[in-house]
Amino acid sequence: MKEAEKKELLYDDMVKGMQLPEVTVTLRPEILEEYLEGIDDLNPLYLDEGYAKDTPFGGRIAPPISIAMSTTVSNFIKPLDRKIPPGLIHAKQRFEFTGIIRPHDELVFRTVIEDKYEKKGRKFAVLRSEVFNQKGERVATSWLTPIWPK
């Protein structure tokens, strides 16, 4: 279905406790390297396997914040075949990291609508995503709070 034909996901369509479909993302090294170059973070722990293998991590790791590239409203509602209403504002986001993320990891995002509330006439939704690697280990949790336009 073309983007223009998709129905918008409205604030009233979401219910507290609503589970969104799982989303799986593979951390491709070339994407991570472009990201690191863009933020000017050339830490050898992220880029040099030879250096990283002799550290307590035992090999290259991805910067923890790299999961921010995948924790987006559009990524989470894409499997619903819906689109974001124009005017959505990314109000805040918080992360808790509980494991190591590596290049090539296949990350599974399990997202739930944790809360909905109105403040000063604006509609907020809190999307909590638990992130698991291919071994089933929880490596992070994200709380994404957008202001929903309608």
10-residue mean pLDDT series, the chain (150 residues): 86 97 95 91 95 96 90 92 94 96 96 97 97 97 97
Domains of the chain: 3-28+61-148 (3.10.129.10)
How far, CA to CA in Å, does 95 sit from each of 13, 53, 59, 80? 26, 26, 23, 24
Alpha carbon distance 31, 29 (integer Å): 5
pTM for the model stands at 0.91
- The b-or-e profile of 7-42 (16+ CB within 10 A means b, else e) is eebeeeebeeeeebeebebebebeebeebbeeeeee
What pLDDT was estimated at residue 86?
94
What pLDDT was estimated at residue 140?
97
